[in-house]
Structure formats: structure tokens, C-alpha cells
Amino acid sequence: MASADTTWKLTAPAAKPIVQAALLAHDRIDDWDYELVIAGREVAEDKPDDWVLEGWFPRKPGKTEKAALAGLFEGVSEAGAPEITVEELPPQNWVTLSQHNVEPIRAGRFHIHTPEHPADREAIDFIIPASQAFGTGQHRTTAGCLEMLDAMKARGVIARNIADIGTGTGLLGFAALALWPRAHCTLTDIDPVCVPVVEENAAMNGVSMGPKPGEAVMVVAEGMDDPLIQVRGPYDLLIANILAGPLVQFAPAFAKAVTPGGSMLLAGLLAGDQEAAVRRAMLRAGFRLAARLQRGDWAILWLRRRQNWARLR
């Protein structure tokens, strides 16, 4: 019998453009089973065109889960869905396994490392253990966001009220507080498992949790749909490193939550069609592009809300 902590992984190998198209198809599905978490990646650095679409499920996947993954390839691959393999992972969290012995990263002035590695006293240093939540700094989107935050600070951005939507480990919110130490900070995530993770990481890195300036408040919520998120706004810096689909969906809510002239940092979207869709949605919502980074296949966008803007009807 499988352990309660066992995770099952589904793997579908395909060429890079096919996997990316399947990810776009996933973003357009409104009733996707949130327990089936998917991601795409290259097989190896020396094989940039060979990718896999992976899915993780808390129980042994059946025909429904396999069909859902296979369905993402309909219309994007002439050969149809690739063969999907299923494997049972050990009774440990798959993020912990993937982060084992991971090397520290440097992104702008930030140095991110696990407890097994020494701190860098010349950098803004954060300890982020491998954990049950995303946002350890190793993914190119998270590292790119750290770089962009550093660039925003260097270009004179002032942030007094910060929101980190889909915070995961809390890292990006913590990083923003390190750059703007007197700001209020609201951290949100849809997954309740992030609450103890964020609290543990905050204690480990000397970040105070609370409602005062220089402190962070944690909220479990989907997007902006929470009274506390709304009452603590509007925000002059909103960070959202999530997925392209939710970014498009939340664009009108983000516009209401960001002050005129305020900044928004978006990531979790692939350069190309996903980026174009997000930028169109944000333009309609009243944001303009201030700067862009690309790290691998991932785009990181800094947008600013227009000072005087009324949507054309």
C-alpha cells in the first residue's frame, strides 16, 4: 500500500514546441483538476529540443488523469499523445528530492542557498531549504524575478506596500522587503501547505511576520479574492510568479489592486505565445511594459500601471 506521502509522477516525452503547446492548452482549461500539477522541462542542457511534460498526483493516477495529460496533446501533435509512463516516487516530497544537494545561486545582489551551504556576507543572503512549496530560487523564473527586483530598486522604484501573489516559500516577498525594509508586505498562496513553510523560512531569515511596516502577513487565497488582500491594498508593487493562464485571468483584479504608477512583476510564462497573451491582457487592464528579462525559455516582465487611464468601451 502506498504511503500517504507518496507522490506519483506521469511523464510524456515530446519535442520542445509540442510540450510548450501542451502547456498553453493547459492554461486554457478552466476545470483542470488542481491536484494534478504539471510542468514542462528540457531533458538535459545538451539536448535543448528534447522536453518532457510531467505531472504529479497525490494518488496512483488512473485513466482519468492519464487521459487529461494525453488530452493536452490533441491538436498540437500530428502523432498524437506520446506514451505516458507512470512511476511511484518514494514517500518524500518530490520538490525535496529535486533540490537535494542543489548549488547556491546568485541573482543580482541576492544569494540563495540551502542550509548546507555557507552564507555570502557580501550579498543579500537568504536560506531557503528544499520544501513542500515552490520558489526555492533555483527555477529560472524565480531567479529572474530576483534580478528584476534588484534592477527595479536600482532604477528608483519606491515600494511602500507589497503583495506577493502565489508566494510559495515566501522568497520573493522576503527579497522585496530586503530592498524596501519599511514596506508592508502581504504574501498569498492558494495552497495551505505554504503557511508553515513561509513561517519557518521567515524565522530562519530574520523576517518578522505581522501587520507592521517591515513585516509580512500570510494569506491563503486564490488570486486577489480575499477580504484581507483587498483591505491591505492598494499595492505599489505586486509580484506574481504563477502561470500564464491565471495571469491573464487576474489582469482586471490586478489593475484594481495596483496604485496608478505602481509596478507589477510577472513571471511563470514562456516567451512566445504565453508572453504575448499576458501582455495583451495587461495592456487592456491599463499596464505598460517597463522592462523585460528572458532566462532560458521564460520571460520576466516589469509593468507599470498608467497614471491616467480609462478603458475604452
The 10 Å Cβ neighbour count of residue 292 is 15
* 233 neighbors 257 (Cβ within 8 angstroms): yes
pLDDT at position 132 is 40
pLDDT at position 156 is 95
Tell me the three-class secondary structure of the chain, residue by residue.
CCCCCCCEEEEEEEEHHHHHHHHHHHHCCCCCCCCCEEEEEEEECCEEEEEEEEEEECCCCCHHHHHHHHHCCCCCCCCCCCCCEEEECCCCCHHHHHCCCCCCEEECCEEEECCCCCCCCCCEEEECCCCCCCCCCCCHHHHHHHHHHHHHHHCCCCCCEEEEECCCCCHHHHHHHHHCCCCEEEEEECCCCHHHHHHHHHHHCCCCECCCCCCEEEEECCCCCCHHHHHHCCEEEEEEECCHHHHHHHHHHHHHHEEEEEEEEEEEEECCHHHHHHHHHHHHCCEEEEEEEEECCEEEEEEEECCCCCCCC
Distances (CA, A) of 232 to 163, 183, 257, 287, 312: 9, 12, 9, 21, 28
* 213 neighbors 232 (Cβ within 8 angstroms): no
pLDDT at position 114 is 83
Q: Class of 102-305 per CATH?
A: alpha beta
Task: For the chain, give every domain's residue range.
Answer: 8-92, 102-305
Q: What span, in angstroms and rounded, lies between the C-alpha atoms of 251 and 287?
A: 9
pLDDT tens sequence for the chain (313 residues): 334 456 789 999 999 888 888 887 886 777 788 788 888 888 877 777 889 999 888 889 999 999 999 999 987 777 788 999 999 876 655 455 544 556 788 899 999 988 888 889 999 999 988 654 455 555 678 889 999 999 999 999 999 999 999 998 899 999 999 999 999 999 999 888 889 989 999 999 999 999 999 999 999 998 888 999 999 999 999 999 988 889 999 999 999 999 999 999 999 888 988 999 999 999 999 999 999 999 888 899 999 999 875 544 3
CATH architecture of 8-92: 2-Layer Sandwich (3.30)
Assigned C-alpha cell, 102: 542543489
Q: What span, in angstroms and rounded, lies between the C-alpha atoms of 68 and 70?
A: 6
From first CA to last CA, the distance across the chain in angstroms is 58
pLDDT at position 133 is 44
Assigned C-alpha cell, 229: 488582500
